[in-house]
Amino acid sequence: MKVFRDLAWFFKQEKKAYLSGIFMLFLVAILQLLPPRVIGIVADEIGARTLTLGKLGLWIAVLIVAGLLMYVFRYYWRIYIFGASVKLARILRTRLYEHFTKMSSHFYQRKRIGDLMAHATNDIQAIQQTAGSGVLTLVDSLLTGGFVIIAMATTISWKLTLIALLPMPIIALLTNWYGTKLHARFKKAQEAFSFLNDKTQESISGIKVIKTFGQEKEDINDFKKLSDEVVEKNIAVAKVDSLYDPTISACVGISFFLSIGFGAKFVLDGSITLGDLIAFNTYLGLLIWPMLAFGWFFNIVERGSASYDRVSRLLNEKIDIKDHEHAIIESPKGNIEVNIAKFCYPDNEKTVLKNIKFTLGQGKTLGIVGKTGAGKTSLLKLLLREFEGYEGEIRIGGKEIKEYRLNALRKAFGYVPQEHFLFSASIKENIAFAKPDASEEEIHLAAKIAAVHDDILGFAEGYDTVVGERGVSLSGGQKQRISIARAILLNPEILILDDSLSAVDAKTEETILASLKENRQGKTTIITAHRLSAIQHADLIIVLDEGKIAQQGVHKTLMKEDGWYKDMYLHQQLEALVEHGG
Ligand code: TTP
Ligand code: MG
């Protein structure tokens, strides 16, 4: 029942709908009492041979009117109660989604996507059911059950009612016991579903890899294992759940047995009529539904409460990167001063960056190079404030990046991540992603700078070509350049290209760099690369080695120093020569 207390805010908010729905349920519960009573009366009139066609017609009319009214009321309580519960799903889904968008990279490194999806679908649905069917089954079983019992006791015989209800305490005890069991089992079932969801998501995303490595069989086996687990856990739920209905039926059976036995005696000694006994048993039949509903109620509420716990735990996860109280609203502009003493990723002791100290003037170009795993991407992530657990400080325009509103800070950047991502939308929409109101000309210009305009015109539908999930139908280089165009379109104060020219040939790289230079006068550009030609004209080049700055300067001075830069440059030149048949 805790889940109802947790959801009290929502019931308060939708008070009108719930009260209206409950009122309708109340009317239905009362109207339901009519038919058994009418049947009893008609039976007695038949027994006494006093039934006339006129009277029978009247009673039938009463039944028809009651039936019609119930039809209308039942329709409306569904609209009110189920309608409100759908709103709860919307509220929670939106909250969860907003929460997801606020969480940092660290959160997504820890969480499995399938699990998050399970929260947003399965769990929300279970909570919605609690606010819909859960409320219904509780209210309806209490109202219908209560009224039927009152009708039995007051209009027929309280003695017979007490006798017929003797099995009730057994039901109460068992229900309580089932509830506890169900909760624990539901939790396990939902967890198993999360795992399965995660596996499915990952396998479908990685289906090409699975196929090229011929791992279909193994993957199916893994899937089957998780799927079996879900079945097993749900069967465990069903095993407890299934106990409930037979228990109710057995108890109701005992009630019928008691009511017929003792009822017959009461009829014979004249304390009730035969019609009363018939009405009494029809009432008893009406009790089956509320008792079953009560069982469903437990099922629904236990599932909902397990899900509510899971969703709240997720919503309560702290947002680790957020705005300070008086954060600066303007986007940063100016020199970038980096002074990082030490940085490790959360939950990892390895020092990824150490003693990184440099200043980049506004409008200048910075090249960051170094072996794979040297820390290039990590340095960029700190600049973007994706992580902030470092010792030292990073300033832009003289102010620490933590002092800016996150939104404002990120607005200053156009970031082309190393692992680029295209949405399942048209190329146009992908490029205009961060500036949806961009004009055709702007979009085309960005694509031209990224040297992908001609490629796009080559597609049958040009800029309207829809790229499949993750842009399946494009080449790696095309996807990469569309990602570059997306960042360029923003004309950002600081453009970051993280290894973004890796999938284009040397000539295209040159074209892109030249048009960047032409179009980004006065704006800052940061490029990381493995091919040194991509950064050789930079105003500052930093060579990283195992998280430390091994060398820094401009191309000319670095070529005079003995070290990684010179070795690598000569090596790459030699390679290029060989490639061109020199
Ligand atoms: P990176 O900063 O990713 O190294 P890099 O960008 O220089 O490498 P590449 O040229 O291949 O792109 O990684 C530095 C170290 O930090 C490496 O040991 C992996 C680790 N790391 C994490 O632990 N978590 C992360 O999110 C990232 C990006 C890196
Ligand atoms: Mg990298």
Neighbours of ion ligand 2 (CB under 5 A): 376-377, 418
For 191-232, how does the pLDDT look when each residue is reduced to its tens digit (9 = 90+)?
899 899 889 988 988 898 999 999 999 999 999 999 999 999
For 105-158, how does the pLDDT look when each residue is reduced to its tens digit (9 = 90+)?
889 988 888 888 889 998 999 999 999 999 999 999 999 999 999 999 999 999
C-alpha of residue 484 to centroid of ligand 2, in Å: 16
| Atom of ligand 1 at shortest range from CA of 378 | 2
| Atom of ligand 1 at shortest range from CA of 348 | 23
Give the up-direction half-sphere exposure of residue 13: CA atoms within 13 A in the CB hemisphere: 10
Structural domains in the chain, CATH included, are: 2-315 (1.20.1560.10), 327-412+537-582 (3.40.50.300)
Sign of the torsion formed by the C-alpha atoms of 558, 560, 564 and 566: positive
Cβ burial 289-324 (10 Å sphere, 16+ → b, else e): bbbbbbbbbbbbbbbbbbbbbbbeebeeeeeebebe
Pocket of ligand 1 from Cβ distances under 6 Å: 345, 348, 352, 370, 372-378, 418, 499
Which pTM was predicted? 0.78
For 318-336, how does the pLDDT look when each residue is reduced to its tens digit (9 = 90+)?
888 888 888 999 999 999 9
C-alpha of residue 294 to centroid of ligand 1, in Å: 56
The strand order across the sheet containing 336-344 reads 351-360, 336-344, 390-396, 399-400
Q: Tell the residue nearest (CA) to atom 18 of ligand 1.
A: 373
pLDDT mean for each 10 residues of the chain (582 residues): 90 95 95 92 92 93 96 95 95 93 88 87 93 93 93 94 90 82 87 90 89 92 95 93 84 91 94 93 89 84 89 89 89 95 91 95 95 95 93 95 93 92 90 93 95 92 82 82 95 95 90 93 94 93 95 95 94 86 64
Q: Which long-range contacts (CB under 8 A, 24 or more apart) does 153-156 make?
A: 155/37, 155/279, 156/272, 156/276, 156/279, 156/280, 156/283
Determine the Cα–Cα distance for residues 356 and 176; give it in Å rounded to an integer. 63
Determine the Cα–Cα distance for residues 283 and 549; give it in Å rounded to an integer. 86
| Atom of ligand 1 at shortest range from CA of 379 | 2
Q: How many CB atoms lie within 10 A of CB 365?
A: 22
